[in-house]
Amino acid sequence: MDSNNSDPFEQPRLASTASEGIKVVIIGGFGVGKTTLVQAVSEIRPLCTEETMTRASEGIDDLRRGTGKTSTTVAFDFGRITLTRERVLYLFGAPGQERFWFLWDRLFLGSLGAVVLVDDRRLDDSFYAIDRLEAAGTPFIVARNRFGKNQHSLDAVRGALQLSERVPLIDCDARDRQSCKDALIALVEHLFTLHSAREAV
Amino acid sequence: MTRGPLEHETPDRLYAVTRGRMPVPDDALDVVSLIMSESESEPGMQSEYRRILALCVRPTAVVEIASYLRFPVSVTKILLTDLLDSGKVSARHPSASPATPARLPSLDLLQDVLRGLQQL
Protein backbone atom coordinates (compact mmCIF):
# COMPACT_ATOMS: atom_id res chain seq x y z
CA MET A 1 0.00 0.00 0.00
CA ASP A 2 3.00 2.27 -0.28
CA SER A 3 2.63 5.23 -2.50
CA ASN A 4 5.62 5.44 -4.78
CA ASN A 5 5.65 9.11 -5.47
CA SER A 6 9.40 9.51 -5.29
CA ASP A 7 10.85 9.61 -8.77
CA PRO A 8 8.58 10.08 -11.75
CA PHE A 9 11.40 9.32 -14.15
CA GLU A 10 11.68 5.76 -12.87
CA GLN A 11 8.16 5.13 -14.10
CA PRO A 12 7.28 4.44 -17.74
CA ARG A 13 6.25 7.67 -19.44
CA LEU A 14 3.44 8.17 -21.91
CA ALA A 15 4.16 8.40 -25.63
CA SER A 16 4.22 11.96 -26.93
CA THR A 17 1.18 11.08 -29.06
CA ALA A 18 -1.01 10.49 -25.96
CA SER A 19 -3.90 12.91 -26.16
CA GLU A 20 -6.95 11.52 -24.39
CA GLY A 21 -7.22 10.44 -20.77
CA ILE A 22 -10.11 8.15 -19.85
CA LYS A 23 -11.30 7.46 -16.29
CA VAL A 24 -12.61 4.32 -14.66
CA VAL A 25 -13.30 4.35 -10.93
CA ILE A 26 -12.87 1.36 -8.64
CA ILE A 27 -15.15 2.00 -5.67
CA GLY A 28 -15.16 0.03 -2.46
CA GLY A 29 -14.93 0.09 1.30
CA PHE A 30 -11.73 0.11 3.31
CA GLY A 31 -9.55 -2.97 2.79
CA VAL A 32 -11.67 -4.47 0.03
CA GLY A 33 -8.78 -4.61 -2.43
CA LYS A 34 -9.06 -1.47 -4.57
CA THR A 35 -5.34 -0.74 -4.55
CA THR A 36 -4.55 -4.40 -5.15
CA LEU A 37 -6.75 -4.39 -8.22
CA VAL A 38 -5.24 -1.17 -9.57
CA GLN A 39 -1.75 -2.56 -8.97
CA ALA A 40 -2.57 -5.82 -10.73
CA VAL A 41 -3.26 -4.13 -14.07
CA SER A 42 -1.41 -0.81 -13.96
CA GLU A 43 1.68 -0.17 -16.12
CA ILE A 44 3.01 2.16 -13.40
CA ARG A 45 3.30 1.45 -9.72
CA PRO A 46 0.10 2.89 -8.26
CA LEU A 47 0.48 6.51 -7.25
CA CYS A 48 -1.32 8.27 -4.46
CA THR A 49 -2.55 11.81 -4.27
CA GLU A 50 -4.92 13.87 -2.21
CA GLU A 51 -7.68 16.29 -2.73
CA THR A 52 -9.14 18.70 -0.26
CA MET A 53 -12.54 20.13 -0.78
CA THR A 54 -14.43 22.65 1.22
CA ARG A 55 -18.13 22.01 1.22
CA ALA A 56 -18.89 25.70 1.40
CA SER A 57 -17.24 26.10 -2.00
CA GLU A 58 -19.91 23.91 -3.54
CA GLY A 59 -22.31 26.79 -3.78
CA ILE A 60 -21.45 30.39 -3.32
CA ASP A 61 -17.96 31.59 -2.54
CA ASP A 62 -17.80 31.23 1.20
CA LEU A 63 -14.08 30.57 1.49
CA ARG A 64 -12.93 33.91 2.75
CA ARG A 65 -15.35 34.06 5.64
CA GLY A 66 -13.59 31.18 7.30
CA THR A 67 -16.60 30.04 9.22
CA GLY A 68 -19.07 27.23 8.83
CA LYS A 69 -17.04 25.33 6.28
CA THR A 70 -16.34 21.63 6.39
CA SER A 71 -13.05 20.65 4.86
CA THR A 72 -12.61 17.05 3.74
CA THR A 73 -9.29 15.60 2.65
CA VAL A 74 -9.27 12.29 0.89
CA ALA A 75 -6.38 10.27 -0.48
CA PHE A 76 -6.83 8.11 -3.52
CA ASP A 77 -4.67 5.72 -5.49
CA PHE A 78 -4.51 5.48 -9.22
CA GLY A 79 -2.82 3.54 -11.97
CA ARG A 80 -2.55 3.76 -15.73
CA ILE A 81 -3.02 1.55 -18.79
CA THR A 82 -1.95 2.76 -22.24
CA LEU A 83 -4.65 1.67 -24.71
CA THR A 84 -3.54 3.12 -28.05
CA ARG A 85 -1.07 5.72 -29.24
CA GLU A 86 -3.61 8.39 -28.31
CA ARG A 87 -5.78 6.95 -25.56
CA VAL A 88 -4.79 6.16 -22.02
CA LEU A 89 -6.95 4.71 -19.25
CA TYR A 90 -6.60 5.89 -15.67
CA LEU A 91 -7.95 3.68 -12.89
CA PHE A 92 -8.87 5.39 -9.65
CA GLY A 93 -9.35 3.54 -6.39
CA ALA A 94 -11.90 5.47 -4.38
CA PRO A 95 -13.45 4.90 -0.98
CA GLY A 96 -17.22 4.75 -1.35
CA GLN A 97 -18.32 6.22 1.95
CA GLU A 98 -20.93 8.91 2.05
CA ARG A 99 -18.65 11.59 3.43
CA PHE A 100 -16.38 11.40 0.38
CA TRP A 101 -19.02 11.29 -2.26
CA PHE A 102 -19.30 14.97 -3.08
CA LEU A 103 -15.62 14.83 -4.04
CA TRP A 104 -16.13 12.00 -6.49
CA ASP A 105 -18.94 13.86 -8.17
CA ARG A 106 -16.41 16.44 -9.20
CA LEU A 107 -13.16 14.50 -9.55
CA PHE A 108 -14.60 11.62 -11.51
CA LEU A 109 -17.19 13.40 -13.59
CA GLY A 110 -17.01 12.01 -17.08
CA SER A 111 -15.83 8.56 -16.02
CA LEU A 112 -16.45 5.74 -18.44
CA GLY A 113 -18.00 3.83 -15.56
CA ALA A 114 -17.27 2.19 -12.25
CA VAL A 115 -16.41 -1.18 -10.80
CA VAL A 116 -17.86 -1.56 -7.31
CA LEU A 117 -15.60 -3.98 -5.47
CA VAL A 118 -17.39 -5.75 -2.62
CA ASP A 119 -16.46 -8.06 0.23
CA ASP A 120 -19.46 -10.28 0.84
CA ARG A 121 -18.79 -10.25 4.58
CA ARG A 122 -19.26 -6.48 4.57
CA LEU A 123 -21.84 -5.73 1.93
CA ASP A 124 -23.17 -2.80 3.96
CA ASP A 125 -20.09 -0.84 2.87
CA SER A 126 -21.35 -0.84 -0.73
CA PHE A 127 -24.98 0.22 -0.37
CA TYR A 128 -24.34 3.92 -0.48
CA ALA A 129 -22.05 3.80 -3.53
CA ILE A 130 -24.48 1.61 -5.47
CA ASP A 131 -27.38 3.93 -4.65
CA ARG A 132 -25.47 6.96 -5.80
CA LEU A 133 -24.27 5.35 -9.04
CA GLU A 134 -27.81 4.24 -9.85
CA ALA A 135 -29.20 7.67 -9.08
CA ALA A 136 -26.57 9.35 -11.27
CA GLY A 137 -27.09 6.86 -14.10
CA THR A 138 -23.37 6.03 -14.11
CA PRO A 139 -22.74 2.64 -15.73
CA PHE A 140 -21.23 0.17 -13.27
CA ILE A 141 -20.69 -3.47 -12.53
CA VAL A 142 -20.22 -5.17 -9.17
CA ALA A 143 -17.23 -7.46 -8.59
CA ARG A 144 -17.02 -9.62 -5.49
CA ASN A 145 -13.43 -9.94 -4.37
CA ARG A 146 -12.53 -13.47 -3.32
CA PHE A 147 -11.37 -13.64 0.25
CA GLY A 148 -10.63 -17.30 0.82
CA LYS A 149 -13.91 -19.14 0.61
CA ASN A 150 -16.84 -16.94 -0.16
CA GLN A 151 -19.77 -17.62 2.08
CA HIS A 152 -22.58 -16.83 -0.29
CA SER A 153 -23.69 -17.52 -3.83
CA LEU A 154 -23.61 -14.63 -6.27
CA ASP A 155 -27.40 -14.78 -6.37
CA ALA A 156 -27.52 -14.28 -2.63
CA VAL A 157 -25.14 -11.33 -2.96
CA ARG A 158 -27.33 -9.84 -5.68
CA GLY A 159 -30.37 -10.22 -3.43
CA ALA A 160 -28.64 -8.71 -0.42
CA LEU A 161 -27.47 -5.72 -2.48
CA GLN A 162 -30.93 -5.40 -4.07
CA LEU A 163 -29.06 -5.18 -7.34
CA SER A 164 -31.00 -4.93 -10.59
CA GLU A 165 -30.68 -7.91 -12.96
CA ARG A 166 -29.34 -5.47 -15.53
CA VAL A 167 -26.19 -4.80 -13.49
CA PRO A 168 -23.48 -7.44 -14.07
CA LEU A 169 -22.22 -9.14 -10.90
CA ILE A 170 -19.04 -11.18 -11.16
CA ASP A 171 -16.40 -12.84 -9.02
CA CYS A 172 -12.92 -11.36 -9.03
CA ASP A 173 -9.55 -11.99 -7.44
CA ALA A 174 -7.95 -8.59 -7.01
CA ARG A 175 -4.48 -10.17 -6.71
CA ASP A 176 -4.77 -11.81 -10.10
CA ARG A 177 -4.01 -9.76 -13.19
CA GLN A 178 -6.18 -11.82 -15.53
CA SER A 179 -9.12 -11.71 -13.13
CA CYS A 180 -8.82 -7.90 -12.83
CA LYS A 181 -8.60 -7.59 -16.62
CA ASP A 182 -11.78 -9.65 -16.86
CA ALA A 183 -13.56 -7.36 -14.40
CA LEU A 184 -12.63 -4.28 -16.44
CA ILE A 185 -13.62 -6.03 -19.66
CA ALA A 186 -16.98 -6.90 -18.04
CA LEU A 187 -17.53 -3.18 -17.46
CA VAL A 188 -16.74 -2.38 -21.11
CA GLU A 189 -19.04 -5.17 -22.31
CA HIS A 190 -21.76 -3.76 -20.09
CA LEU A 191 -21.28 -0.40 -21.83
CA PHE A 192 -21.63 -2.11 -25.23
CA THR A 193 -24.85 -3.73 -23.97
CA LEU A 194 -26.18 -0.34 -22.89
CA HIS A 195 -25.37 0.97 -26.37
CA SER A 196 -27.28 -1.87 -28.06
CA ALA A 197 -30.22 -1.42 -25.68
CA ARG A 198 -30.41 2.24 -26.58
CA GLU A 199 -30.31 1.54 -30.30
CA ALA A 200 -33.09 -1.06 -29.90
CA VAL A 201 -35.48 1.52 -28.42
CA MET B 1 -6.97 4.76 3.93
CA THR B 2 -3.24 4.68 3.27
CA ARG B 3 -1.02 7.30 4.79
CA GLY B 4 -1.43 10.36 2.65
CA PRO B 5 1.52 11.70 0.66
CA LEU B 6 0.90 15.14 2.13
CA GLU B 7 1.13 14.15 5.75
CA HIS B 8 4.28 16.15 6.25
CA GLU B 9 3.08 19.14 4.30
CA THR B 10 2.47 22.33 6.10
CA PRO B 11 -0.42 24.54 5.04
CA ASP B 12 2.10 27.39 4.93
CA ARG B 13 4.01 25.81 2.07
CA LEU B 14 0.83 25.21 0.07
CA TYR B 15 -0.20 28.80 0.75
CA ALA B 16 3.20 30.05 -0.40
CA VAL B 17 3.36 28.18 -3.70
CA THR B 18 -0.06 29.42 -4.75
CA ARG B 19 0.56 32.85 -3.23
CA GLY B 20 -2.55 32.41 -1.14
CA ARG B 21 -4.95 31.77 -3.99
CA MET B 22 -7.94 29.54 -3.43
CA PRO B 23 -8.91 26.70 -5.70
CA VAL B 24 -11.31 27.61 -8.45
CA PRO B 25 -14.34 25.33 -8.10
CA ASP B 26 -15.29 24.98 -11.73
CA ASP B 27 -11.93 25.00 -13.41
CA ALA B 28 -11.35 23.75 -16.91
CA LEU B 29 -8.74 21.13 -16.03
CA ASP B 30 -9.80 17.54 -15.57
CA VAL B 31 -7.81 15.15 -13.36
CA VAL B 32 -6.87 13.26 -16.54
CA SER B 33 -6.19 16.27 -18.77
CA LEU B 34 -2.75 15.60 -20.25
CA ILE B 35 -0.23 18.41 -19.85
CA MET B 36 2.65 19.07 -22.27
CA SER B 37 5.53 21.50 -21.83
CA GLU B 38 5.75 24.11 -24.56
CA SER B 39 8.88 25.86 -23.38
CA GLU B 40 11.96 25.53 -21.22
CA SER B 41 12.32 26.70 -17.65
CA GLU B 42 13.48 30.27 -17.26
CA PRO B 43 16.07 31.49 -14.77
CA GLY B 44 14.44 32.58 -11.54
CA MET B 45 11.28 30.63 -12.18
CA GLN B 46 9.50 29.24 -9.09
CA SER B 47 10.80 25.72 -8.47
CA GLU B 48 7.37 24.08 -8.74
CA TYR B 49 6.93 25.50 -12.24
CA ARG B 50 10.37 24.19 -13.22
CA ARG B 51 9.49 20.73 -11.96
CA ILE B 52 6.25 20.73 -13.90
CA LEU B 53 8.02 21.79 -17.10
CA ALA B 54 10.64 19.05 -16.63
CA LEU B 55 7.98 16.44 -15.98
CA CYS B 56 5.75 17.41 -18.87
CA VAL B 57 8.30 16.97 -21.68
CA ARG B 58 6.10 13.89 -22.12
CA PRO B 59 2.32 14.10 -21.70
CA THR B 60 1.48 13.83 -18.00
CA ALA B 61 -1.96 13.76 -16.41
CA VAL B 62 -2.91 16.44 -13.88
CA VAL B 63 -3.32 13.80 -11.21
CA GLU B 64 0.16 12.38 -11.90
CA ILE B 65 1.69 15.83 -11.60
CA ALA B 66 -0.13 16.33 -8.28
CA SER B 67 1.20 13.03 -7.03
CA TYR B 68 4.80 13.74 -8.01
CA LEU B 69 4.74 17.27 -6.62
CA ARG B 70 2.97 16.02 -3.48
CA PHE B 71 0.34 18.70 -3.72
CA PRO B 72 -3.41 18.32 -3.56
CA VAL B 73 -5.02 18.22 -6.99
CA SER B 74 -6.64 21.63 -6.48
CA VAL B 75 -3.30 23.31 -5.67
CA THR B 76 -1.69 21.62 -8.68
CA LYS B 77 -4.44 22.97 -10.90
CA ILE B 78 -3.72 26.52 -9.75
CA LEU B 79 -0.05 26.13 -10.73
CA LEU B 80 -0.96 24.54 -14.05
CA THR B 81 -3.42 27.29 -14.83
CA ASP B 82 -0.59 29.83 -14.40
CA LEU B 83 1.56 27.91 -16.88
CA LEU B 84 -1.35 27.49 -19.30
CA ASP B 85 -2.15 31.20 -19.14
CA SER B 86 1.43 32.08 -20.00
CA GLY B 87 1.60 29.49 -22.78
CA LYS B 88 4.39 27.50 -21.12
CA VAL B 89 2.32 24.31 -21.20
CA SER B 90 -0.62 23.07 -23.23
CA ALA B 91 -3.41 20.73 -22.16
CA ARG B 92 -5.10 17.88 -23.99
CA HIS B 93 -8.53 17.48 -22.44
CA PRO B 94 -10.60 14.30 -22.26
CA SER B 95 -13.42 14.32 -24.75
CA ALA B 96 -15.66 11.94 -22.83
CA SER B 97 -18.88 13.42 -21.60
CA PRO B 98 -20.37 12.05 -18.40
CA ALA B 99 -21.32 8.45 -19.06
CA THR B 100 -25.00 8.00 -18.41
CA PRO B 101 -27.54 5.87 -20.26
CA ALA B 102 -28.47 8.99 -22.20
CA ARG B 103 -24.88 9.91 -23.09
CA LEU B 104 -22.72 6.86 -23.49
CA PRO B 105 -19.11 7.00 -24.64
CA SER B 106 -18.64 6.48 -28.37
CA LEU B 107 -18.37 2.95 -29.77
CA ASP B 108 -14.99 3.89 -31.20
CA LEU B 109 -13.70 4.74 -27.71
CA LEU B 110 -15.19 1.57 -26.23
CA GLN B 111 -13.51 -0.53 -28.95
CA ASP B 112 -10.15 1.01 -28.07
CA VAL B 113 -10.66 0.35 -24.36
CA LEU B 114 -11.69 -3.24 -25.02
CA ARG B 115 -8.74 -3.93 -27.32
CA GLY B 116 -6.32 -2.24 -24.94
CA LEU B 117 -7.51 -4.35 -22.03
CA GLN B 118 -7.45 -7.57 -24.03
CA GLN B 119 -3.82 -6.90 -24.98
CA LEU B 120 -2.74 -6.47 -21.37
ipTM here: 0.87
Of A1, A109, A191, the CB nearest to B105: A191
Rounded Cα distance between A111 and B72, Å, is 20
Nearest 10 degrees: Cα torsion A8, A13, A17, A23: -80
Is the pLDDT reported for residue A61 higher than 70?
Answer: no
Question: Radius of gyration over alpha carbons of chain B, in Å?
Answer: 17
- How high is the pLDDT of residue B100? 61
Would you place residue B23 in the very low, low, confident or very high pLDDT band (cuts 50, 70, 90)?
Answer: low
Q: Which of A12-21, A34-43, B96-105 has the lowest mean pLDDT?
A: B96-105
Q: Residues of A107-130 as b/e, b for ≥16 C-beta within 10 angstroms?
A: bbbbbbbbbbbbbbeebebbebbb
Burial of A187 (0-12, 13-18, 19+ CB in 10 A): buried
d(CA A201, CA A185): 25
Average pLDDT value over all residues in chain B? 84
Range of lowest pLDDT (A158-167, B55-64, B89-98): B89-98
Phi-psi group of B22: left, alpha or beta (phi > 0 → left; psi -120 to 50 → alpha; rest → beta):
beta
Q: What pLDDT band is residue A5 in, cutting at 50, 70 and 90?
A: low
Cβ-Cβ contacts under 8 Å, A72 against chain B: none
The pLDDT assigned to A78 comes to 96
Per the prediction, chain A carries an average pLDDT of: 86
- Which residues of chain B does A8 touch, with a Cβ-Cβ cutoff of 8 Å? 55, 60, 64, 68
DSSP-assigned beta bridge partners for residue A75: A50
Interface residue A74 vs chain B (CB under 8 A):
yes
User: Is-contact B23 B78, C-beta < 8 A?
Assistant: yes
Q: Out of B1, B67, B72, whose CB is closest to A47?
A: B67
Helix (H) or strand (E) holding A141: strand A140-145
Would an 8 Å CB–CB cutoff place A55 in contact with chain B? no
Is residue B35 over pLDDT 80?
yes
